[in-house]
């Protein structure tokens, strides 16, 4: 029974390794960690804004972006030593259930940091590190490996979370992430 509870965690780690979702400087980022407090439940729901705020206060995290993805809320963050995201939900007993994926802060080495997950409802979390690029950035387009193309507007936000809502329980990584300006000029592309 315990091994079945660890299965979602194992699938997340495996999908990250296979899809290369954590990248910087043209290579898979090797210094990352995954933490979770318990396994997600089928009947979980996204937390309220007040529960998210309490959770972030407890973890001492200032969010760059947050977005509801399926039955959870993804919160993208950055501090001096690391970048990452929490995927937070409320389980069937009303308790907060969360998974954290973090990696070493690579903002000094790459203009754009990319993370995410390929399982469940896949999403890409993008952090625009370069201030000049951020001033010009208008939208980010992600092409997932299933050929779905999803675009999110930057809105002067350093962080953006882009899910592929067409996938409900899959294993779909991304194949490209592109940052465009208002005139559709490419500012950054990672393939």
C-beta atoms surrounding 91 within 10 Å: 18
Per residue in 14-36, pLDDT (tens digit) is 344 333 444 433 333 335 566 77
Which tokens sit at 83? 């970048």
In the block, tokens 């997600």 appear at: 40
| Secondary structure of residue 75 in the 3-state scheme | strand
What's the CA gap between 61 and 77, in Å, rounded? 7
Number of domains, the chain = 1
pLDDT at 64 over 70: yes
pTM: 0.81
Tell me how far the alpha carbon of residue 63 is from its chain's centroid.
12
What's the CA gap between 96 and 101, in Å, rounded? 16
Domain of residue 146: give its range: 2-190
Query: What is the maximal distance between C-alpha atoms in the chain?
Result: 54
Q: What pLDDT is attached to residue 38?
A: 60
Confidence of residue 122 (pLDDT cuts 50, 70, 90): very high
């Amino acid at each position: 029974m315990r091994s079945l509870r660890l299965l979602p965690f194992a699938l997340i780690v495996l999908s990250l390794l296979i899809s290369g979702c954590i990248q910087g400087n043209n290579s898979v980022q090797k210094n990352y960690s995954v933490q979770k407090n318990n396994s997600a439940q089928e009947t979980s729901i996204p937390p309220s804004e007040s529960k998210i705020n309490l959770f972030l206060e407890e973890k001492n995290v200032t969010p760059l972006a947050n977005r509801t993805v399926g039955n959870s809320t993804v919160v993208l963050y950055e501090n001096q030593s690391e970048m990452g995201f929490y995927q937070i939900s409320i389980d069937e007993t009303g308790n907060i259930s969360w998974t954290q994926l973090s990696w070493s802060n690579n903002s000094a080495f790459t203009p754009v940091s990319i993370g995410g997950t390929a399982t469940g409802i896949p999403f890409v979390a993008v952090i625009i590190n370069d201030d000049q690029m951020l001033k010009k950035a208008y939208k980010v387009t992600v092409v997932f490996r299933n050929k779905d193309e999803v675009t999110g507007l930057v809105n002067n936000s350093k962080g953006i979370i882009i899910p592929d809502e067409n996938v409900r329980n899959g294993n779909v990584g991304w194949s490209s992430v592109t940052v465009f300006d208002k005139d559709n000029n490419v500012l950054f592309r990672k393939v």
